[in-house]
Amino acid sequence: MAGKMWAGRFTKEVDERVNDFNSSISFDARMYRYDIEGSIAHATMLGECGIIDIDESRKIIEGLKSILADIDSGKLQFDPTAEDVHMFVEAELTKRLGDTGKRLHTARSRNDQVALDVRMTLRAETKEIITLVKKLEKTILDIAEKNLTTVMPGYTHLQRAQPITFAHHLMAYANMLLRDISRLEDCFKRTNIMPLGSGALASTTYPINRQRVCDLLDFDEITQNSLDGVSDRDFCIELCSAISMLMMHLSRFSEEIILWCSWEFKFIELDDAYATGSSIMPQKKNPDVTELIRGKTGRVYGDLNTLLVMMKGLPLAYNKDMQEDKEAIFDAVDTVKLCLKTFDPMLATMKVIPENMRNAAAKGFINATDCADYLVKKGMPFRDAYKITGTLVHTCIEKGCTLETLPLEEYKKLTDNFGEDVYDAISLDTCVMQRKAAGGPAPESVKAQIEYVKERI
């Protein structure tokens, strides 16, 4: 502790408990690559602007590169007693270069440095998450293409409602994920803004060139206000919010898979590699992956809440509370990546059981709307047609049959508008094929939906 960089003002050493409490190296060490890349850009600019000697700038850059290589190779280990990754790298540089190393932090504060590091880290993470979501999209499209005519019941209130196809159902998720990608891309734009040069809060008196650092680090633009530059964590919250929404979609999808693989539905069967057994019940095959995704969604919502509450009362500019941003956003990022990486192959290997979907669709009178529509097409007002069909369903329930097996005389008892062609009108295949409106379940319509998503990923 005697080695604290800010020790000059103090007459005592920091209490060990405070030192441990204060330290963030255990969770910010993962940003080392960006911390070093940021420092290399900063040192380059300092040298070019004549703020430090150009030779010293070169030595600093070489030193930083060697530190990066040594961390990468495992030769250099993080010191757990260091205050944070920034202090660790700077101390190591000074150990290697002596006084020259001490010049790196000219015209910079840890406040703008950490803002830079977090932005660079999340920029990379966001790209990775987008790639994973696109991969999942491709898996969904593959399964959808194979199931364009796989009839299944569509539900409202978890009650069989109208016939759709499995492809149509899957494409609902493909569209949700498309919006998730768009949210992530949008949030990327606001993350990709360069804060270095904001200093501690009031920029600097040195003649720095922020645009140069921005270009070197491949940012879109520089932050426009130094107070905002060091105290904004909107980009973390925005990413966490986009991830929360993505998790919500994965969780709903998971919930359906949990239902579908139950004996009550048996619409699908999970591959043995993506299910688990029970320690006591030999017959069990449990959908743990999907249950965990559903569970972890709550955890990510917790991260979002942590960030929102952490920020809401902070006066400008930097406050130490903000050090808490990293564990929350990194947890959200790690969790969603883990979920996507597991969910995708689980989905890809899952076996679809079309017969069971079709059998379920054949029960539950899900063609009742089509029966009413049949009468409307014969000239009857929809409300009357609706009532007659309701009566027919009632008759079927009493007789223990379906609309397809109910004799024509029963139909004719209610209205003469019914003819032999009613059976064709209410057949499951007709019900699906006729719903060719844009967005509907008819194979041609779902094909268009598949094309739409394909073009956008």
Active site residue 157: yes
Preceding amide of 144 cis, omega within 30: no
**Segment near ligand ARG (CB under 6 A), from 88-96, 315-323, 364-372, 390-398?**
315-323
Closer of 105 and 110 to ligand ARG (Cβ): 110
Binding to ligand ARG by residue 368, rule CB under 6 A? Answer: no
Q: Which of 182, 262, 278, 394 is catalytic?
A: 278
Q: Is 84 exposed, middle or buried (0-12, 13-18, 19+ CB in 10 A)?
A: buried
User: Of 318, 330, 365, 411, which one interacts with ligand ARG (CB under 6 A)?
Assistant: 318
CA 307 from chain centre, in angstroms, equals 17
Query: Shortest CA distance to 294 belongs to which of 333, 349, 257, 261?
Result: 257
Side-chain-side CA neighbours of residue 366 (13 Å): 27
Reduced to 3 states (helix: H, G, I; strand: E, B; else coil), residue 286 is strand
Q: Which of 109, 157, 249, 279 is catalytic?
A: 157
278 catalytically annotated: yes
Query: What is the nearest approach in angstroms of ligand ARG to the Cβ of residue 329?
Result: 12
Closest CB to ligand ARG among residues 121, 251: 121
Query: Structure tokens of 316?
Result: 């400008």
- Please, which residue, 294 or 326, has the CB nearer to ligand ARG? 326
Residue placing its CB nearer to ligand ARG in the complex, 274 or 330: 330
* 111: contact with ligand ARG by CB under 6 A: yes
Quote the Cα angle for 229-230-231, to 5°: 100
Q: Is residue 319 within the footprint of ligand ARG (CB under 6 A)?
A: no
User: Amino acid letter at 403?
Assistant: L
Chosen residue from 114, 336, 339, 350 binding ligand ARG by CB under 6 A: 114
Structure tokens at 149: 């005519």
| Nearest residue to 103 via CA among 158, 153, 64 | 64
* Residue closer to ligand ARG, measured from CB, 1 or 393: 1
Interface residue with ligand ARG among 93, 322, 357, 403 (CB under 6 A) is 322
Name the residue among 335, 312, 445, 422 with its Cα closest to residue 376.
422
Measured at the alpha carbon of residue 154, what is the angle toward residues 261 and 173, in degrees to the nearest 5?
Answer: 70
Q: Indicate the residue among 165 and 231 with the shorter CB distance to ligand ARG.
A: 231
Q: Which stretch binds ligand ARG (CB under 6 A): 107-115, 169-177, 262-270, 307-315?
A: 107-115
Among 103, 110, 160, 294, binds ligand ARG (CB under 6 A): 110
Q: Report residue 140 as tokens.
A: 């969904």
**Segment contacting ligand ARG by CB under 6 A, of 90-98, 109-117, 251-259, 291-299:** 109-117
Distances (CA, A) of 244 to 130, 241, 284, 393: 14, 5, 31, 42
> In the complex, which residues of this chain contact ligand ARG (CB under 6 A)?
24, 28, 84, 110-111, 114, 318, 320, 322-323
- Active centre residues (catalytic): 157, 278
